[in-house]
Structure 1
Amino acid sequence: MAGKSGAPWWAHLMLYTGGLTLVVAGGTAAVTQYGLNAANSAVPEEDILGEHQAEVDVDNLEGPLNILVLGVDKQGATTRSDTMIIVHVNEELTEASMISLPRDLWVEIPDCGPTMNSPCEFKINHAASISDDWEVTRPNVVETIFDLTGVDFHLGATVDFNGFLDLVDLVGEIELCPWHEIQSIHGEKRVFPEGCAYYDKDESLDLIRQRYGWKLDSDWAEGRGGDYGRQAMQQQAIRSLITELKADGYHKDPAKLTEILEGFGGSLTIDKPNELSITDLVVNLRDLDPDAITSIQVPSTPERIQWDDDPLDIVRIHEGEEQAAADALWEALKNDTLDQWIAANPGWVKSETEATETPTGEEATTPAGGTD
C-alpha cells in the first residue's frame, strides 16, 4: 500500500490495562529490508474481532481508527482476558486516546457460562471466564464490549503482559513510582515504598499486578482506587520501558530491534486486514507521540451490592450524568469527535504525562470495606 514517506523504522503496538495501550516510540534510523521482514513476520495474527471488524482502506490508511486491545493471562492451555482497552486514533493519525474498561464494570453479557443463566448482568471480566477455551471466551468478550459501546473496531490485538515484561530483561530495570507504600499479596510479600525507584522484571510484574493495595480513601478520591490503581501502574511500566529502550539505543540499531521483535512477538497477536502489513501500520502511525496519549476513564463509580446474599463490589455506569457521558463517549469514538467530548467532560480525562500525579476525575465513593 502507499504509506507516508520518510518514516523511521520504529513503532510498537502494545497493550497495558489498567493497562496496555497503543504506543509508538521512535528514532531516526532507516529501515533495512531485514528489519522490514523481521517486523512483518514477528507478530502472529489471529481472528480477534470476528463480525465486529470495521472496514479499513489499506491503500489509503487514514483515521479515525478504533483499536480493541485485550490483555490476556496465559496459564498452560488456558487463556483469559483481564484487561480491556479501546484505543482511538484521530482522522489525521496524530493523536491517540485510551479508554480502559474497568474489570468490575457492571454490564450485560450474552454468554454467562454454565454456572449462570444467559444473558446476564455481571462484571465485564466474567465474559472472559466462561470457558478455558479462548476460542469460546474471545468472541464473548468482543460481543460484550460491542453491546456496551456499539463500536466496531478496525484493528484488534491481544497481549500477554507477563510476556511483554520479559523485555525488561533487555534493559535490566525500569522506574516505577507508587504514590504510597504497597504491601504485595503475592509470593515473596514484597514491600514497595512510596516514591520512584528502579525494579527488575520480577519486582515490576509483582507491583503492577497489585490492585487490592489501592484501597485508601485518598486512592478512591483521586480516581485510582482498586483496579484503577493497577491500570495506572501498568501505564507507568509501559512508558518507563519505552524510555529505557530508547536510552539504550534500541530505537536506532536494527540488530537491537530484532531482540525487541523476538521478545515482543511472543506476547502479542494482532487482527488486521491481510493486505495491511505491520510496517505499513508503523509507517502510517509514525506521528503519534507516546508522551501525549490521553487517558479516559469510563464515566462510572464503584458501589457495593448484594449478590446471592453476599456483598459484591462493582463499578457501575449510573443513570443520569454518568450514563449520558458514557453514551456520548461511545458516539464520539464512532464519529471522531473525541476532542469535543474531552472538552465537555474534563473530569473523566487525564494526560498520560500525569501518570504519577493526582489524576482528575469525579470523586468516587469508596465501597464499604474496600474494593475487592
Structure 2
Amino acid sequence: MAGKSGAPWWAHMMLYAGGLTMVVAGGAAAVTQIGVNTANSAVEQEEFLGDAQAEMDVENIEGPLNILVLGVDKQGGSTRSDTMIMVHINKDLTDVSMVSLPRDLYVEIPDCGPDWGDDSCMQKLNHAASISDDWEGVTRPNVVSTIYNLTGVEFHMGATVDFNGFMDLVDLVGEIELCPWHEIKSHHTDKVFPEGCQYYNKKDSLDLVRQRYPWNLDSDWESGLGGDYGRQAMQQQAIKSLITELKADGYHKDPAKLTEVLGGLGDKLKLDLQDGVTVADLAVSLRDIDPNDITSIRVPASTEVTEVGDSEIIHEGEEQTAADALWAALQDDTMDAWIAQNPHWVKQTGNAATETTTETAEESGTGG
C-alpha cells in the first residue's frame, strides 16, 4: 500500500518553498500579492551541499529534482540534526517521494570527531551531526558528506529547518489539534498526554511532538510507529493542524497575514538554491504539488545490536539490493517502479497508521 504524506512537517515546508504556498492555493498568485522581493528575502540562503550538488537548468526549473532536507534542533549553544530526509520530485513536478534516513542507521562517517582523531568510523548516522558545535563549518558538511557517500545521490537543492523555532508560529493561531493514538508521559516534563484529539498551546505542542521514547508499545512497533517513527507521525500531525488553523484564520486570503507568516519563519528555514534560482521561482514551479499526496519510504534496514548499541543496519542480501536500487531510482527518476517492487518499505499514511495502531492496541488490551 502506498504510504502518503507520512513525512516530517519540515519536508512539507520545503515543498512549499519556505511557506509561500503553505497556506495559499496557487504559488504564483501568492508571490504576486506579497511581492517577489518580499518572497525572495523572507528565507535565508546558504550554500552547503558542496560536492553533493547536482547540475540543473536554473532558467527552466523542471524535474526530476532531489532535495536534501535536514531538520535541526537548537538547544543551548549547539545545533544538531537527527532528522534527515531525501525528497524526490519526478520529471513532471507532480509526484513526490520522501526517503527518511533513520537517525540510528549504521554507516561510515568520514569525520567522527576528536574522540576518533577526526578520522572515519562506523557509527549511527546522527553521530555525524554531533562532532562539533560549529554547525555551518564542520558538522553540517560532515552530515552531507556522510549521506552522499552512503547513497551517491546528488541534490539539486537543500534545506535546513529549525523545528523548535517553527513551532513559534503556533502563537499566531493560539492552539493546534494533536491526536496521540494512546496515552503517553513526556520524558521531558512528565506531563501526561491522553489518547485522542485535543487542542494544545505552543509549549505543550512542542513537548508532545518531541517525544520519541514513549512510543514503545508492541502495537507501536507493529504499526511502524515505534520510537522515532512515532515522533515523525506527531510532527506530521502538527504541521497539518497548523496549516488548517492558519487557513481558518484567513492567512491564505490576506497578503498582510501571509507576510506575517513569512516574517515568523525568519532564520528558521535556510535554503541552498543554485545561482539563478529564487524562492519565488521555486514556489511557482512546485505549486501543483499536493502535500496530502506524498509517498514516504523507509530505508531498507533492520535493527541489530552493534558496538554502538541498537542500530539500523542495511544487511547484505535483500536489504542491500533494495537499498542500492533505491539510491539508483532517486538518481534515475524511476521511483514508481521501485515502489511497486518494494511495497513493504513504503510507509502508511499518518492517519491510517494512527488508526491501525489504535485498533491494534485495543485488540491487545494495551490502549491508553
Could you say which residue in structure 1 is the equivalent of 2:180?
178
Supply the AA of the counterpart residue of 1:39: A
CA shift in 2, pair 1:355/1:290, >3 Å: farther
CA shift in 2, pair 1:18/1:241, >3 Å: closer
Q: Number of paired residues?
A: 339
SS of the equivalent of 1:357 reads helix
Supply the AA of the counterpart residue of 1:40: N
Could you say which residue in structure 2 is the equivalent of 1:225?
226
CA shift in 2, pair 1:265/1:275, >3 Å: same
Task: Report matched runs for 1:309-328 at 5 Å.
Answer: 312-328=309-325
Determine if contact 1:219/1:225 at 8 Å carries over to the other structure: yes
Task: Decide which structure has greater helix share.
Answer: 2
Task: Report matched runs for 1:208-357 at 5 Å.
Answer: 208-307=209-308, 312-349=309-346, 350-351=348-349, 354=352, 356-357=354-355
TM-score by length of 1: 0.86
**Aligned-pair CA distance for 1:58:** 1.2
Distance in 2, matches of 1:132 and 1:32, equals: 40
Distance in 1, matches of 2:178 and 2:30, equals: 32
Moved more, 346-355 or 50-59: 346-355
Task: Report matched runs for 1:130-209 at 5 Å.
Answer: 130-134=131-135, 135-187=137-189, 189-209=190-210
Distance in 1, matches of 2:237 and 2:30, equals: 29
CA shift in 2, pair 1:220/1:275, >3 Å: same
Distance in 2, matches of 1:291 and 1:274, equals: 30
SS of the equivalent of 2:108 reads strand
SS of the equivalent of 2:35 reads helix
Determine if contact 2:164/2:206 at 8 Å carries over to the other structure: yes
Could you say which residue in structure 2 is the equivalent of 1:370?
none
**Aligned-pair CA distance for 1:151:** 0.4
SS of the equivalent of 2:195 reads coil
Could you say which residue in structure 1 is the equivalent of 2:366?
none
**Aligned-pair CA distance for 1:142:** 0.2
Cα distance per residue 1:307-332 (max 9 Å; x no partner): 4xxxx121112222221111111111
**Aligned-pair CA distance for 1:266:** 2.7
Distance in 2, matches of 1:315 and 1:19, equals: 23
1:119 and 2:120 aligned: yes
Cα distance per residue 1:188-209 (max 9 Å; x no partner): x111111222111111110111
TM-score by length of 2: 0.87
Distance in 2, matches of 1:123 and 1:79, equals: 17
CA shift in 2, pair 1:353/1:340, >3 Å: farther
CA shift in 2, pair 1:344/1:18, >3 Å: farther
Distance in 2, matches of 1:282 and 1:289, equals: 13
Cα distance per residue 1:218-250 (max 9 Å; x no partner): 111111211111111111112221222122221
CA shift in 2, pair 1:218/1:27, >3 Å: same
Could you say which residue in structure 1 is the equivalent of 2:40?
40
Supply the AA of the counterpart residue of 1:284: S
Could you say which residue in structure 2 is the equivalent of 1:358?
356
CA shift in 2, pair 1:137/1:122, >3 Å: same
**Aligned-pair CA distance for 1:355:** 5.2
SS of the equivalent of 2:258 reads helix
Supply the AA of the counterpart residue of 2:179: C
Cα distance per residue 1:256-284 (max 9 Å; x no partner): 11111011133100000121110110000
Any unmatched runs of 5+ in structure 1? 1-15, 360-372
More relative contact order, 1 or 2 (CA 8 Å, 6+ apart): 2
